[in-house]
Amino acid sequence: MTGYDVLAEVYEWLISDAKLPPAEFAASFDDVLNLLPSNAHVLDCSCGTGQLAVGLAGRGMQVVATDASEAMVRRTAELSEEFGASVRALRANWEELPEHFQDNTFDMVFCVGNSLHHATGATGRGAALESMSRLLRPGGRLVLTSRTWELVRARGSRLEISDRLVRRHGRDAVVVYRWEIAPRWEEEHHIEIAIAQVDATGLVLVRSELLSCWPYRYEELEVELHRVGLQTELSTFDPEAENYMVVASKV
Ligand SMILES: C[S@@+](CC[C@H](N)C(=O)[O-])C[C@H]1O[C@@H](n2cnc3c(N)ncnc32)[C@H](O)[C@@H]1O
């Protein structure tokens, strides 16, 4: 189960204020983007609603944006049009990527914003990382961001309700995450995300989706990256921080 076709409609309520403008989303990766020529070939392989892809295109890069969700790809294409950005957007899950692109095509591949945990277990994750690695040119880099699952699992199953309303397009919503943590790391976990919009008359409109995910420890990820020919160049992993970024280059 991939999901996100329902959430795609209301995904901006899940993106922080700071990252909503495409230029700002891209700027959050300034340190790695500075390693690239301005017309670099880049792929965002879990593009969501396209903020990063459009931000990268705004810097003059040649951008391809892919996602497993048709609705997400549509939203990326709409955002590109709105910003007059040149982004090639297409639906493909990670394992299908080599059917669409030749090996050694991209200078940088992005898999960001808590996407990789949707790959089905260690086998699915290995296949996804293998695809990403194949598409990178030698010396090219994979940029991956992740939740710190060590922390998420330690907290156990729970309900997380936003402590303030999130306003987008003049509409307020409460955002709810329901975490279903399985007893063992390798089992399928679930996150149910609900966006409850409240209109001026007090009417509540809820959109929600149950997503499957397979967590991984940081050490496992490192091993899996190396197995597909990627060498960790930079890592912000800190067992006490909520998220981390790994930059790995193709040997
Ligand atoms: C949490 S969203 C992150 C979106 C975006 N990168 C961001 O930071 O806002 C996860 C994305 O991964 C996509 N995804 C899930 N499974 C996938 C797969 N097997 N192949 C490609 N994309 C996938 C989802 O459709 C969704 O758009």
Domain boundary assignment for the chain:
7-148+216-250, 150-213
110 neighbors 52 (Cβ within 8 angstroms): yes
Q: Ligand 1 centre and the CA of 128: distance in Å?
A: 12
Q: Ligand 1 centre and the CA of 201: distance in Å?
A: 34
Nearest CA, atom 26, ligand 1: 48
Closest ligand 1 atom, residue 25 Cα: 8
Residue corresponding to tokens 């402590």:
163
Q: Is the CB of 216 under 6 A from ligand 1?
A: no
Q: How many angstroms separate the CA atoms of 19 and 21, rounded?
A: 6
Q: Is the CB of 114 under 6 A from ligand 1?
A: yes
Nearest to 222 by CA among 107, 144, 119: 144
Q: Does domain 7-148+216-250 have CATH number 3.30.470.20?
A: no
Q: So what's the pLDDT on residue 2? A: 60
Q: How many angstroms separate the CA atoms of 146 and 246, rounded?
A: 8
Q: So what's the pLDDT on residue 1? A: 43
Closest ligand 1 atom, residue 15 Cα: 9
Q: Ligand 1 centre and the CA of 22: distance in Å?
A: 17
- Alpha carbon distance, N-terminus to C-terminus of the chain: 33
List own/partner pairs for 147-151 with CB under 8 A and 24 or more apart.
147/114, 147/117, 147/242, 147/243, 148/218, 148/237, 148/238, 148/239, 148/241, 148/242, 148/243, 148/244, 149/117, 149/215, 149/216, 149/217, 150/217, 150/218, 150/239, 151/239, 151/240, 151/242
Q: So what's the pLDDT on residue 3? A: 86
Q: So what's the pLDDT on residue 219? A: 98
The CATH number corresponding to 150-213 among 2.20.25, 3.40.30, 3.30.310, 2.60.120 equals 2.20.25
Q: How many angstroms separate the CA atoms of 87 and 144, rounded?
A: 20
What are the residue ranges in the chain where pLDDT is below 50? 1
Distance (Å) of CA 157 to CA 146, 193, 200? 19, 14, 33
Q: Ligand 1 centre and the CA of 156: distance in Å?
A: 23
Evaluate if pTM is beyond 0.95. Answer: yes
